[in-house]
Structure 1
Amino acid sequence: MTDVAVIAARLGLYLTLAITFGLPCFVFWAWRDGRRSPPGPWAWIVGIATLLAMILSVFQLIALAASMSGTALTAVDRATISMLLDGGAMGRAWKVRVGALLVILMALILTRRAPGASRMVSAAGGGVALATMAWFGHGASDEGAAGWTPLVADLAHLWAAGVWTGALVGLSWLLLRSPNDASHGHAALCERALGGFSGLGTLIVATLVVTGLINTWFLIGIDHIASLMADPYGRLLLVKLAAFGCMIVLAALNRYRLTPALERVLKESGDAARSLSRLRVSLLTETAMLTTILGLVAWFGTLSPPAGG
């Protein structure tokens, strides 16, 4: 039960922390030319995600303490928690995360007065908070100079995944906030957001592929590639790769087929309802694949990789 609690806490943290970083980044990038203000209550979404991340961080700390001491969640005492907080890099990372989340909340209060600064500070705080998850996984397990390579790769992997998550949340909100609204103005807003993010999406995919290969090299090892199916970690990794492949296909479909189709309809002043409907289905499927991947990554953290076993 304790391991399940740890996995659930990690999944929730990956999702909420990715939103605190990725959504402000998406809003900044998609509307970077300043011709039109970003739509939607992005600050409220980030604020809710931040509060949930703080609650989940406390729960994660309790769950880790219970797992380390071999006791039930309700039996964890202050001494065990204090030892975990003061015992090394993981405890320091947890404190940094909570501090970064507080910074985000303070920045969001200033959204109306200084929206640009609020987005920048929120994104910076979210990036720091999301980065702390690297110290709760395998990327920070090695010490010395050799340990920096997988750690840096893990950080880049987290940030790239965070921006992708934020983009999916922002785009999904745009497409789902009014499913029956196929007006030219709303459709044009959706097309602009999709087009504004497309260039960055290519960089995100490239970063995820490169850092994923680096992590696989260090965590799996060349000698274990052929026997992945024989190891629980390896089987989960293969499922993750399959889900990631589906996400790449869907992202390519959105960029090269569905978004251009929406643009053509808008230029011809036609009915955009069908194009928007197809984009909704694609984005919801992509979001489901992303959630599956984050759940698998949360599970990975409780298993020993082949190269470290």
Structure 2
Amino acid sequence: MEAFFVLATWLDVMAISACAGVLACCLWVMPRHAPGHFHQRLWAGLGAALALLTAASAVLLVARTLEFSGAPFASLPTDLPLVLQQTQYGHIWQVRMAAVGVLWLCWLGGGSRSLRPVAAPVSMLALLVVVFSRSATGHAGDQGIYSGGVWVDCLHVWSSGIWVGSLFAMSLLVFPLLLRQVEIERALAAEVFARLSRVATLALAAIVASGIYNAWGGLDGIGDLWQSRYGQILSVKVALVIWMVYLGGHNRYHKVPALQRWVGMPTAPASFWQRVPGWRPLSATRGGAYLLSRCARAVHLEAALGVLVLAAAALLHHGMPPADMRHMGYVPATPPTLASMPVRGVGRV
């Protein structure tokens, strides 16, 4: 059953990331002057991501109900109404589904290109409500659903979704079109990749800051990184993120300038970061198709690593931080039952 709980959480963070990434591409990566079929493809991708988010929300409700009750699947018809009506998790889940409904309405309205400039930012705001529901019902919500830890975790989940999700969107929706039209859309290819790099850099800064805060609260000392299961999973997650940063750094400091030189755009002077070991410059004389294919390959690999990072995040969500374990005197928590659970209790996962 524990595997099902982790799978439900992983599906949820994947769906949130997919939505955040597509919306980030619509708002900040794909320029408005790009041909309409790029925007249409992204908006269609948002519909698929919303379908995944809707399904993930339902699966998550089932998983949390089973965790709360400790009962088998056969008891769901009885337990689900109790969770929805008598627990704070159920109340937060209802708000989440209202936000998902707003997302669907925005997506339908955004089918009209004239309404899309309004539908996209409103959709991002509605998605932030979904992100809040994710954070408020996890470890961060133990001190209260409006505590500082919840807002920091919201920033972490949202920025992680933008970073990883934009890689998904670029890999599945944008690069296949750009690779077929690279000779026609030279300037667009260089601009889109440069914009993606800037968005990823800003998201990464938020991820690092909020991640350090979360780790500081969950670990009592540096030794917990290898002496506890929670710390070991966190260490793997950090290693995967560093690998993604390494790949993204080469994109930013070598592939983007090479694309810009190929297009004839001015490039920034060489910097210290371009001399990182293992980073090799690319020659613009190889042609746009070669350069863009190298960009796409790097983004594909980053996206695959992102899937593993989100899997590690799901495992962490279902583990108890060492600091909390020591605070509890290493006494394992007894799983709450619906009968004993307080009406306002969120329940720890």
- TM norm structure 2: 0.80
The offset of 1:214, in angstroms, is 0.5
1:295 matched to 2:314: no
Amino acid in the other structure paired with 1:160: S
Map of 1:126 onto structure 2:
127
Amino acid in the other structure paired with 1:301: H
CA distance in 2, matches of 1:282, 1:183: 17
| Matched-pair contact (CA < 8 Å) for 2:190–2:256 | yes
The offset of 1:208, in angstroms, is 0.8
**Residue pairs, 1:1-309, within 5 angstroms:** 2-31=1-30, 34-36=32-34, 39-40=38-39, 41-73=41-73, 75-111=74-110, 112=112, 113-143=114-144, 148-172=147-171, 173-177=173-177, 179=179, 181=180, 183-221=182-220, 224-267=221-264, 271-309=287-325
User: Structure 1 residues 262-271 or 201-210, which shifts more?
Assistant: 262-271
Amino acid in the other structure paired with 1:52: L
| Matched-pair contact (CA < 8 Å) for 1:50–1:104 | yes
1:143-174 deviations in whole A, cap 9, x for unaligned?
39xx7222121011111112113321332222
Q: What secondary structure does 2:160 align onto?
A: helix
| Matched-pair contact (CA < 8 Å) for 1:182–1:273 | no
CA distance in 2, matches of 1:37, 1:177: 11
User: Structure 1 residues 185-194 or 297-306, which shifts more?
Assistant: 185-194
| Matched-pair contact (CA < 8 Å) for 1:19–1:162 | yes
Map of 2:329 onto structure 1:
none
The offset of 1:209, in angstroms, is 0.8
Distance 1:86 1:220, change over 3 A: farther
Q: What secondary structure does 1:71 align onto?
A: coil
CA distance in 1, matches of 2:286, 2:247: 25
- Corresponding residue pairs, total: 301
CA distance in 1, matches of 2:58, 2:18: 18
CA distance in 2, matches of 1:167, 1:138: 26
Q: What secondary structure does 1:26 align onto?
A: helix
The offset of 1:128, in angstroms, is 1.6
CA distance in 2, matches of 1:78, 1:37: 49
CA distance in 2, matches of 1:16, 1:143: 25
The offset of 1:20, in angstroms, is 1.9
Structure 2's unaligned 5+ residue stretches are 265-283, 326-349
The offset of 1:99, in angstroms, is 0.9
CA distance in 1, matches of 2:304, 2:132: 23
Amino acid in the other structure paired with 2:130: A
CA distance in 2, matches of 1:171, 1:77: 39
The offset of 1:305, in angstroms, is 0.8
| Matched-pair contact (CA < 8 Å) for 2:42–2:174 | no
- TM norm structure 1: 0.90
**Larger radius of gyration, structure 1 or 2?**
2
Distance 1:277 1:35, change over 3 A: closer
The offset of 1:187, in angstroms, is 4.2
| Matched-pair contact (CA < 8 Å) for 1:7–1:299 | yes
CA distance in 2, matches of 1:93, 1:53: 16
CA distance in 1, matches of 2:11, 2:177: 23
| Matched-pair contact (CA < 8 Å) for 1:30–1:193 | yes
CA distance in 1, matches of 2:209, 2:286: 41
Amino acid in the other structure paired with 2:242: G
**Identity, % of aligned pairs?**
23
The root-mean-square deviation of aligned C-alpha atoms, in Å, is 2.1
CA distance in 2, matches of 1:167, 1:121: 18
Structure 1's unaligned 5+ residue stretches are none
1:17-71 deviations in whole A, cap 9, x for unaligned?
2222332122211246x43356141121111111221122111111222233223
The offset of 1:239, in angstroms, is 0.1
